[in-house]
Amino acid sequence: LKDLADTRAELAKKKKEVQSKLGSAQKLLNLLTAQEKAALATQEQERATRAGERVDLGNSKGSGRAGAAFAAAQSVIGAPYVYTHAGPSSFDCSGLTSWAYAQADVTIPRTSEAQANAGTRIYSQSDLKIGDLVIFYADQHHVGLYAGNGQVLHAPHSGAVVRYESIANMPYQFGVRI
């Protein structure tokens, strides 16, 4: 019990330190002008895009319909995210996945929530194959295509472009094999 009390005290001390640092960081952010905040957001987006360009996926291309859908999605890397768009020049997340599968002559539902029920669910990330749908967040509001090597190809959010990103950057729920 004494060890537990010591651990709790140490954790409380660390929590205070982190909260203090967060408070200081928030004060600094509040001092930025709108123009500085926009420049910072642009830099963050460029950094994420560059990181996505350097992704090592190994040498697998996927196979069958999933492989064809994945290849279609790869062909639009860099296309802008635009909410409610389903290609061919701009996409939201489920617009990208439904468009990619359509290029492989497979019709899937338009929304991420509906796509979550469009095939066989895969709960273990180690069982995912290239081109499988990957569903994120408890409310299933985001979807991408598994790219191999722990990466997902997706249209992440407004102001971003279609890109690769680590599957670990978002709360994975399950995969869907079409």
Is 85 marked active-site? no
Q: Of residues 85, 141, 154, 157, which has the active-site annotation?
A: 154
DSSP string, 58-124: TT----HHHHHHHHHHHTTTTPBB-TT-BSSS-B-HHHHHHHHHHHTT----SSHHHHTTSSEEE--
Is 93 marked active-site? yes
Tokens of 102: 């359509």
Tell me which DSSP letter residue 132 carries: -
Is 142 marked active-site? yes
Q: Of residues 85, 141, 142, 157, which has the active-site annotation?
A: 142
Task: Evaluate the omega torsion of the peptide bond into residue 109 and state whether it is cis, within 30 degrees of 0.
Answer: no
For the chain, helix (H) and strand (E) counts, in that order, are 5, 6
CA distance 177 to 103: 17
Q: Catalogue the active-site residues.
A: 93, 142, 154
